[in-house]
Amino acid sequence: MEVEFLTFEQSMARLDEIVKILERGEASLDESLQLFEEGTGIVKYCNKRLEEAEQKVVRLTRGSDGEPLELEFQGNE
Amino acid sequence: MNTKVFEVSELNVYIKLILDSDETLSAVYVRGEISNYKLYPSGHHYFTVKDKDGALRCVMFKGSASSLRFRPENGMKVIVFGRVSVFPRDGQYQMYCSSMTPDGVGDLYVAFEQLKEKLLREGLFDVSHKKPLPRYPERIALITSPAGAAVHDMIRVLKKRFPIAKVILLPVRVQGAEAPAEISAALKYANKHKVADIIITGRGGGSIEDLWAFNDESVARAVYESQIPVISAVGHEPDVTISDFAADLRAATPSNGAELAVPDITELRITLDQIASSIERSFMRQIELKREKLTALAGARSLTSPLAYIEARRTFAAALNDRLNGALKALLVKKRSATEILTASLDALSPLKVLSRGYGIAIRKDGLAIKSIKNIAVGDAFTLMLSDGTASCTVNELEEVINGS
């Protein structure tokens, strides 16, 4: 799975997995190298997301079709 | 007849002294219903406690009021405790309350307990039904009033702790007759359209009536039925509502609800750092282990493929072996002759060899070999050891020889 499509929850779960496999030390060198690269990539990706995070607040209302409609939340209503 | 004319304040003080010296009035419980309740900016509470036939003015100062476990309201039946005294300025007697407790239980309390019991029996509060909260929710639904401090508190905390999360506000009324229906409808709508990973529903503090929507049965059921985990965050720490029991997690306040919903970005950064170094460490250790293994294997003879190299080493080893053997032999010869010489001289020194050449050894009774006339006196007995036996002797005479021989 491409790193960019992982949710934070999935990223952290995958990192947990990678750490465990590497700590067991049973993977082949090729596998370990792959896991090392994948793990470092996910950490970098997570840090980048934290770095660039900008909180979004929306106000959800029911659109005319009944589907959720996101509006800007001014915060002074 | 007393004809003394009192000043007003004098009489008020006189009455005050009489009331203050009365034992009953100094510590008394009074039961009644609160009316004309006023909380002043000073923090002092002024009210009247009445029954159907009378009224009593009461004051509760800020210090005593801080220990109140409920918010007094008009119509509430209470028991107040304190002393009765006079306020000389107004010439009015009043009750100075040091504590106040609700008298009996109110209708709301009974309703609360009955619903709690019913839903508990139905299993709405079962721990086994509670869903685990996602650790890193990226969409957080707030079902609360868009006005008021609670929503801003929650947004502020969420922004500070986990700005990655998108906040989705589903505005509802949180008090009044329509509130329960709006809250449960919002909970259902959020689930139907899967708008969030976690829901926080609640409101800021208020009276028991203000919080009542969260004690509504339909709200409790909607919270229970939500597929999305729900945090209930109603009022202040001591306020407990039915929706708190039905929720997957109860928060003490709206801010606390936001704290419980998301991880802290600072801690998360530390965790990520730790993960990164753990991955690197494990990987490097593995490389190291593999390298050691490789070195060990490379040293094995079967793997050293170039024959010339083997041949060279074999020749070298053979030469070394020869040299070693030669050196060893030479050493042995040398050692052997040295031993022979040593044995010969030891033999020559043996006292037995000396005796066989006609010498004797004179031995005193205490075992000392006599080497000088100073070792012995005239009349002493001694043993003379010869090559084939011993002779017992006695000293007859001693004569020193000057130049020896």
- pLDDT in 10s for each residue of chain B, 405 residues: 668 899 999 999 999 999 999 999 999 999 999 999 999 999 999 999 998 889 999 999 999 888 776 778 888 888 899 999 999 888 999 999 998 888 776 557 767 877 898 999 999 999 999 999 999 999 999 999 999 899 999 999 999 999 999 999 999 999 998 999 999 999 999 999 999 999 999 999 988 888 999 999 999 999 999 999 999 999 988 888 999 999 999 999 999 999 999 999 999 999 999 999 999 888 888 888 877 877 777 666 555 555 656 666 677 777 777 776 776 677 667 666 666 666 665 665 666 667 777 788 888 888 888 888 888 888 888 988 888 888 899 998 888 887 644
Report how many domains make up chain A.
1
The DSSP code for A71 is E
In 3D space, the residue among B148, B154, B141, B194 whose CA is nearest the CA of residue B174 turns out to be: B148
Residues of B in contact with A36 (CB under 8 A): 279-280, 283
Bridge partners, residue B56, by sequence: B49
Residues 18-37 of A with CB under 8 A from B: 18-19, 22-23, 25, 27, 29, 32-33, 35-36
B257-260: long-range pairs with CB below 8 Å, 24+ = B257/B154, B257/B200, B257/B202, B257/B231, B257/B232, B257/B233, B258/B153, B258/B154, B258/B155, B258/B156, B258/B157, B258/B158, B258/B161, B258/B200, B258/B233, B259/B157, B259/B161, B260/B133, B260/B231
| Cα–Cα distance list, B382 to B312, B372, B388 (Å) | 78, 13, 17
Instruction: Tell me if A19 and B146 make a contact (CB, 8 A cut-off).
Output: no
Specify if A63 maps to a domain.
Answer: yes
Of A12, A22, A77, the CB nearest to B147: A77
Rounded Cα–Cα distance for residues B385 and B392 (Å): 9
Name the amino acid, one letter, at B270: I
Residues of B in contact with A35 (CB under 8 A): 279, 283
In 3D space, the residue among B380, B165, B341 whose CA is nearest the CA of residue B264 turns out to be: B165
Instruction: Tell me if B283 and A22 make a contact (CB, 8 A cut-off).
Output: yes
Sheet with B389-394, edge to edge strand ranges = B361-363, B381-386, B389-394
Name the amino acid, one letter, at B227: Q
Look at domain B108-263 and name its CATH class: alpha beta
Instruction: Tell me if B283 and A53 make a contact (CB, 8 A cut-off).
Output: no
Name the amino acid, one letter, at B286: Q
Predicted local confidence at residue B40, as pLDDT? 92
Q: How far is A43 from chain B, CA to nearest CA, in Å? A: 6
What pLDDT, in 10s, does the model give residues B159-213?
A: 999 999 999 999 999 999 899 999 999 999 999 999 999 999 999 998 888 899 9
Q: How far is A74 from chain B, CA to nearest CA, in Å? A: 9
Residues of A in contact with B169 (CB under 8 A): 57-60, 73
Tokens found for residue A66: 């009944």
Q: How far is B205 from chain A, CA to nearest CA, in Å? A: 19
In 3D space, the residue among B41, B42, B58 whose CA is nearest the CA of residue B50 turns out to be: B58
Rounded Cα–Cα distance for residues B157 and B346 (Å): 101
Q: B210 with B175: CB under 8 angstroms?
A: yes
Main-chain dihedrals φ then ψ at residue B349, nearest 5 degrees: -80, -15
Specify if A22 maps to a domain.
Answer: yes
Rounded Cα–Cα distance for residues B296 and B280 (Å): 24
Of A7, A22, A59, the CB nearest to B169: A59
The DSSP code for B145 is -
Tokens found for residue B8: 């007003």
Of A22, A50, A61, the CB nearest to B282: A22
Given CB atoms, is B276 within the 8 Å cutoff of chain A? yes
CA dihedral in degrees (B294, B298, B301, B303; nearest 10)?
90
The domain of A65 spans: 3-72
Residues of A in contact with B289 (CB under 8 A): 25
Among A21, A56, A65, the residue to mutate for chain B (most B Cβ within 10 A): A56
Q: How far is A13 from chain B, CA to nearest CA, in Å? A: 10
- The CATH architecture that domain B8-104 belongs to is Beta Barrel (2.40)
Domain boundaries, chain B: 8-104, 108-263, 267-301, 352-394
Specify if A77 maps to a domain.
Answer: no
Residues of A in contact with B196 (CB under 8 A): none
Half-sphere exposure of A27 (CA within 13 A, CB side): 21
Of A22, A23, A56, the CB nearest to B167: A56
Given CB atoms, is B138 within the 8 Å cutoff of chain A? yes
